[in-house]
Amino acid sequence: MTTVEGAALDGRAMPKGRDLYVILGALMLAMLLAALDQTIVSTALPTIVSDLGGLNHLSWVVTAYLLASTASTPLWGKLGDQYGRKRLFQASIVIFLIGSALCGLSQDMFQLIVFRALQGLGGGGLMVLVVAIVGDVVPPRERGRYQGLFGAVFGVSSVCGPLLGGWFVDNLSWRWVFYINLPIGVLALIVVAAVLPVTGERERHRIDYLGTLLIVGWAVGLVLMTTWGGTRYAWSSAPIIGLAAGSVFLIGVWLLVERRAAEPIMPPALLVNRVFALGAAISFAVGFAMFGALTFLPIFLQIVHGVSPTLSGVYLLPMMLGMLASSIGSGQLITHYGRYKIYPVVGTPIIAVALWLCSGLDEGSSTLSMSLRFALLGFGLGLVMQVLVIAVQNAVSYEDLGSATSGVTFFRQIGGSFGVAVFGSIFSNQLARHIEDLAPVLPRGFDPSAVQGNPHLLDRFPAAVKNMVLHAYAQSIDSVFLWAVPVAGVACVLTWFLREVPLRATSRTRDYGEGFGAAPTVRSSRHEIERALSGLMRRDPKAAELYKRLAVLCGVDLPAGSVWALCRIAKDRTVAGQDLAARAGVTVKEGRPYVDRLVTSGYVQRRDGVLVITSSGRGVAERLFDARREGLARHVEGWEPEDHPELADLLTRLAETSLGDDEDGGLLRAAPEGAPS
């Protein structure tokens, strides 16, 4: 079967109309589940700690989810390529829902942390498989239209997560933060089972299981070291030194394994690429700051300022809106001007200044003062996150494009895991020290974790004692942000060494999911190029102009509607006149003049109501497809398609699927000049 025939069959297999929107709706629901769980828990954490205890383990409620979802995405992505995505997607939803139900049933902090890791395992699959399935069910020409919808899901989750988490705590129970996933997930599962076709190309992979296990091993070891150091154990104690030594050893083994793996999760060559190394380091710092802030700002608001969990989510809105504004704005400017380095150079100092300003918050800070600081922090984060992906995509070879893209977000998530753990350790240490200093004036058996769940307990104390306790909490959380300033400062210095080179056209296509703190999605280099080209094709001239331009390039004296019809008939080889009109969304009478031009030119024959492509018509169609392919190839000149067969095949497939597409069939509504009526 020729490529054109294959493309035609793919086109017929794709869902249309309501079926397509139902599938996309289910996929968006599934992605919303995973994206919400990165933020919805933050405003519920104080209440969770009050109910279950385990203040020293608070950070692990967030860290367990981040680590599990980050480490599992490569496995989900490659297993989906190898065994088909529909069943794996259903499995990831089921795992996520089981984890959610068990989280809601947890009776102590240890259970909650374990079940959050299980939930994160399913969440990693949701993230990576949604992106891949969209590529399976949406035609390349239209894919760019829908990419923005899925990016918007992350924006909505960033804004709504803290609000929903707070509302559930105030009006139902913190357990509903997890239970809410069940009806949404079951609905998504039913829709996926009923309407999602079994689509997508099967690709054989050598899955890097050992590399994945080693990543989990050294990441957990380092997070445990930063969590327990100075709290449960002294920094110089044997357990902490053992964790540090063991983690370093596992990193060394991991690098050796990745060097020999057939398909490594993180190719070692990437780590010595200067732009990738700098991008990964900056991304680590940004994740450190972002997830740390999202975790500890609600604690500050609920305890020190005594606002409800719902209101603490409202207070965080300026941060989320600032992130949305700068992420979307910087993406638009990069697309227009093709320059990107200025945004992290400006954004990282803004993050550092915002963190320093947050370290000065106390029980007397006004709402306006807090809102401005939070908005500034969000604005700085939005300037940096998306741009780092663009920078590394623009600097690595085609072979490493997919790994580099997912690698930057991978390091952001790892940075978030470390940030939450380190911030949690600092907070616990500082709070313990301040409460110890206040011991003479506090009641015997005073429990800080009880205050976190119900700040109104402090109302039982004399005003002077209450103010001292609130100040102790404020100082402890201020220390968290003060320690984050040097991390942002290091990122600020690193941005000056980030090399800026002229952007390839593909690098100018925005992936808004990356700008809103998405989890890493493992896309191959081919998938990443296809995503970018799909976005570029959405910016093509209007269909009429595109087909006219191709006709001129190929020296074909045909109107745009006839060019569309020729490409469509060439892809189908034979097609009934009524079927062609149906594809174009016109009547046979409206479309006849265009087909008549093809018949009189000798490109198509009519045989008993069936339109058949002739040898000369096939030759003209091939020239049109080739011209379209050359136009697309100019967008990827830096990737050297002549040296990469899979990239060359992708360009051919996109050229053929994007011409004669049903979306352009409306060209047949107006009769061409000089055509018989």
Query: Per-residue pLDDT tens for 514-524?
Result: 544 444 555 55
Query: Confidence class of residue 167 from pLDDT cuts 50, 70 and 90?
Result: confident
Task: Give the whole-angstrom CA distance, residue 15 versus residue 202.
Answer: 19
Give the number of other Cβ atoms within 10 Å of residue 2's Cβ. 10
Structure tokens at 350: 């803004």
Q: Is 249 helix (H, G, I), strand (E, B) or coil?
A: helix
CA–CA distance, 177 with 196 (Å, rounded to integer)? 28
d(CA 286, CA 415): 7
Mean pLDDT on 144-154: 64
Q: How far is CA 183 from the centre of its chain?
A: 23
Closest of 159, 168, 154 to residue 45, by C-alpha: 168
Confidence of residue 151 (pLDDT cuts 50, 70, 90): low
Pick the closest to residue 282 from 510, 497, 501 (CA basis).
497
DSSP-H helix ranges across 108-208:
109-137, 140-171, 176-179, 181-195
Among candidate residues 615, 609, 624, 633, the one with its CA nearest the CA of residue 664: 624
Given a cut of 80, whether residue 480 has pLDDT beyond it is yes
Are 528 and 393 within 8 A, CB to CB? yes
Pair 431, 472: CB distance under 8 Å: yes
Q: Hey, what amino acid is at 295?
A: T
Residue of 391, 367, 192, 179 lying closest to 275 (CA atoms): 391
Q: What pLDDT is stored for residue 81 in this prediction?
A: 66
Q: Of 124, 118, 125, 123, whose CA–CA distance to 88 is shortest?
A: 125
CA distance 183 to 186: 5
On whether the CB atoms of residues 43 and 169 are closer than 8 A, the answer is yes
Q: Please choose, from the candidates 663, 675, 673, 652, the residue with its C-alpha nearest in 3D space to the C-alpha of residue 7.
A: 652
Query: Distance (Å, rounded) from C-alpha 399 to C-alpha 401?
Result: 6
Cβ distance 403 to 266 under 8 Å?
yes
pLDDT at res. 337: 76
d(CA 233, CA 213): 26
Q: What pLDDT does residue 95 have?
A: 93
Query: Would you say the C-alpha torsion 138, 139, 145, 151 has a positive or negative sign?
Result: positive
pLDDT at residue number 555 = 83
- Average pLDDT rounded to a whole number, residues 509-537: 57
Q: What is the pTM of this model?
A: 0.71
According to the model, what pLDDT value does residue 6 have?
A: 36
More confident residue, 178 or 413: 178
Distance of alpha carbon 185 from alpha carbon 178, whole angstroms = 11
Question: Which has the higher per-residue pLDDT, 50 or 190?
Answer: 190
Asked which of 2-6, 28-32, 589-593 is least confident by mean pLDDT, the reply is: 2-6
pLDDT at 211 over 90: no
**Cα torsion 446, 449, 452, 457: sign:** negative
Residue 350: per-residue pLDDT: 93
At residue 556, does pLDDT exceed 50? yes
List, in sequence order, the alpha helices (H) in 539-676: 543-553, 560-572, 577-584, 588-600, 615-635, 645-658
- Does 399 or 655 have the greater pLDDT score? 655
- pLDDT reported for residue 321: 83
Give the pLDDT band (50/70/90) at residue 10.
very low
**Is there a contact between 277 and 392 (Cβ–Cβ < 8 Å)?**
no
> How far is the CA of 500 from the CAs of 182, 326, 342, 496, 634, in angstroms?
46, 20, 9, 10, 21
Q: How does residue 508 score in pLDDT terms, banded at 50, 70 and 90?
A: very low
- pLDDT digit string (tens) for 347-363? 999 999 999 998 888 88
CA angle 32, 297, 165 (to 5 degrees): 35
Report angle CA 143, 144, 145 to the nearest 5 degrees.
90
What CA–CA distance (Å, rounded) separates 522 from 174?
Answer: 32
Question: Can you tell me the distance from the alpha carbon of 231 to that of 584, in angstroms, rounded to the nearest whole number?
Answer: 69
Which residue in the block uniquely carries the two structure tokens 């380190």? 422
Residue identified by tokens 């000149």 is 637
Please provide the average confidence, as pLDDT, over all residues in the chain.
Answer: 76
Confidence tier at 674 by pLDDT (50, 70, 90): very low
Q: Which residues contact 294 (CB under 8 A, 6 or more apart)?
A: 39, 42, 162, 316
User: Which segment of 36-50, 211-225, 634-648 scores lowest on mean pLDDT?
Assistant: 634-648
Structure tokens at 591: 């479309």
DSSP state of 670: S
Residues of the chain above pLDDT 70, percent: 74
* Confidence (pLDDT) at 249: 92
In whole angstroms, how far apart are CA 513 and each of 41, 299, 389, 623? 20, 27, 11, 37
Contact indicator for 99, 151 with CB cutoff of 8 Å:
no
- Report which residue type is found at 250: L
- Looking at the predicted structure, is the pLDDT value of residue 451 above 50? yes
Backbone phi and psi for residue 273, each to the nearest 5 degrees, phi listed first: -75, 125
Distance CA 100, CA 53 (A): 20
Under the banding of pLDDT at 50, 70 and 90, the label for residue 98 is: very high
Is the pLDDT confidence value at 300 over 90? no
User: What would the two tokens of residue 526 be?
Assistant: 């081919």
pLDDT confidence band for 143 (50 / 70 / 90): low
CB 23 within 8 A of CB 137: yes
Q: Which comes out higher in pLDDT, residue 617 or 208?
A: 617
Residue type, 412: R
For residues 121 and 91, what is the distance between their CA atoms, to the nearest angstrom?
A: 11
Give the mean model confidence (pLDDT) for residues 316-326. Answer: 82
